[in-house]
Structure 1
Amino acid sequence: MPESDHDSPPTILSFAKDLPNICSLAGLFSAILAIYFAILGIFPAAMIGLIWSVFFDWSDGIIARRMKSRTEKQRIFGGQLDSQIDIISFGICPAIVLLSYGEFSPWFIPGAFVIVAAGVLRLSYFNIFGLIGESTYQGLALDNNVIILVLLFVFESLIGSTVFATLLYIIMLALAILNVAPIRTPKLNGGWYYGITAYTIVLTFIYGWQLST
């Protein structure tokens, strides 16, 4: 027998009206801007996009936890959406930054692959097993890669481009290894949100000043 209207699934776009998902999509937009400016080689602007993608990623979870009226389907969909966006913001986008800074040399392709592969493996694992206990990850959370990356680029102008490219390659590979390593790292929440908010504002100001000079 055909399903009744009551049993039919909700439309895809109906989830786009959910406030936490709007926040997640804002993070995706920030990541797309970061990719765009990274390809153009305008790295200060790319870093602004990247750090705001982290801010929105942290914010969507806080909003979701405070909305008691969300349905179970909204909660599950939001978790899936967040995971899909994470691989773009914290996997593909940093890989493109590395490729672009390396002037798309073939030597940088293996590094880009390792970054994305580590991100895919880590998120797949997390989607199945979740946290260890209430507030511990296995491996380094992907957003930490971007938090470190945007700080690293603050010093880019003080280092020669050849040396910085090598340093960038090494650090990003090390972070990718930590993403999938059998180590335990704390989930940063609570008061850390105010820290990431301040961090986002300060770095936006620094990179905005670099763009204006």
Structure 2
Amino acid sequence: MLKYLWDPANAITIGGLLFSSASLFFALSEQIDFSIAAALWAVLADHLDGVVAARTRNRDRDVAKIGKSLDGFGDIIYGAVLPAANVIQLSQASVLALATATTLLVAGATRLSYFANFGRSPDGRFLGVPLSYDVPLLALFLLLQPMIPGESFALIVNICFLLLAIAHVAPLRVPAPSAPAYAAISVFAVAASASLASRGL
């Protein structure tokens, strides 16, 4: 079973899961800045494993199948579980946060199940907003937090993530990011991670 992890792309996916584990630990320890800083590296790993998989020549079919499933499990963790856990912590485990977290998890599982069976639309677009938007958006909120009134911050975050959860399963045609867009997301993830980590020290 473990032999399938020696594949370069699958090893990167496992690396992303390790960052997700660290992120969950920090979230449960109420260290939100560190949690999102680690989660951003899980996002980067998710972007990179697909690139590596596409460029790996003569990749074994079974290795590719394991990689596809592994990637899906990684997506639900960093794309839904981690945002849900952090929203709950940011909101001090409010009833609204429970509703937001539940909606994120259900929407995330539904979207990934659909994508696993049907993939992208014939025109190459995604149906619904991908889960990879969640962690960068939460990072942006945290970076902007000093400019948002404290009493309304949690409410704004919950409303935005409830809307985002709906967008995950809405009949929206979302174009796949271009190479420059992936580069911009990667630069933002690295810079935001560094900023949040330094702020958490």
- TM bin (shorter chain): over 0.9
Cα gap change, 1:31 to 1:193, in 2 (>3 Å): same
Q: Kindly indicate whether the alpha-carbon contact (under 8 Å) linking 1:50 and 1:150 is maintained by their aligned counterparts in 2.
A: no
Establish whether residue 141 from structure 1 lines up as the match of residue 121 from structure 2. no
Q: Residue 114 of structure 2 corresponds to which residue in structure 1?
A: 125
TM-score of the aligned structures, taking structure 2 as reference length: 0.95
Deviation readout 1:64-119 (Å, 9 max, x if unpaired)? 01101211111111111100111011111111011111112333211110000000
Q: Which amino acid aligns with 1:46?
A: S
Moved more, 67-76 or 55-64: 67-76
Which secondary structure does the structure 2 equivalent of 1:191 belong to? helix
Establish whether residue 112 from structure 1 lines up as the match of residue 101 from structure 2. yes
Find 2:162's aligned residue among 155, 173, 176. Answer: 173
Q: Residue 50 of structure 2 corresponds to which residue in structure 1?
A: 61
Where does structure 2 lack aligned partners over 5 or more consecutive residues? none
Q: Residue 203 of structure 1 corresponds to which residue in structure 2?
A: 192
Establish whether residue 37 from structure 1 lines up as the match of residue 26 from structure 2. yes
Which secondary structure does the structure 1 equivalent of 2:120 belong to? coil
The offset of 1:134, in angstroms, is 5.1
The offset of 1:206, in angstroms, is 1.4
Q: Residue 91 of structure 1 corresponds to which residue in structure 2?
A: 80
Find 1:27's aligned residue among 16, 23, 44. Answer: 16
Q: Residue 140 of structure 2 corresponds to which residue in structure 1?
A: 151
Structure number with the higher helix fraction is: 2
The offset of 1:189, in angstroms, is 4.0
Q: Kindly indicate whether the alpha-carbon contact (under 8 Å) linking 2:96 and 2:158 is maintained by their aligned counterparts in 1.
A: no
Which portions of structure 1, spanning 4 or more consecutive aligned residues, are displaced by more than 6 angstroms? none
Q: Which amino acid aligns with 2:189?
A: T
Q: Which amino acid aligns with 2:76?
A: I
Deviation readout 1:118-174 (Å, 9 max, x if unpaired)? 000000000111001253000000101222111111112332333110011001101
**In structure 2, C-alpha distance between the alignment counterparts of 1:189 and 1:46, rounded to whole Å:** 28
Identity %: 27
Moved more, 42-51 or 119-128: 42-51
Where does structure 1 lack aligned partners over 5 or more consecutive residues? 1-11
The offset of 1:195, in angstroms, is 1.6
Which secondary structure does the structure 1 equivalent of 2:179 belong to? coil
Establish whether residue 16 from structure 1 lines up as the match of residue 5 from structure 2. yes
Deviation readout 1:40-60 (Å, 9 max, x if unpaired)? 221111111111111000000
TM-score of the aligned structures, taking structure 1 as reference length: 0.89
> Looking at CA atoms only, which structure, 1 or 2, has the larger radius of gyration?
1
**In structure 2, C-alpha distance between the alignment counterparts of 1:187 and 1:119, rounded to whole Å:** 18
**In structure 2, C-alpha distance between the alignment counterparts of 1:189 and 1:60, rounded to whole Å:** 16
Q: Kindly indicate whether the alpha-carbon contact (under 8 Å) linking 2:84 and 2:100 is maintained by their aligned counterparts in 1.
A: yes
Which secondary structure does the structure 1 equivalent of 2:177 belong to? coil
Paired residue total? 201
Q: Residue 192 of structure 1 corresponds to which residue in structure 2?
A: 181
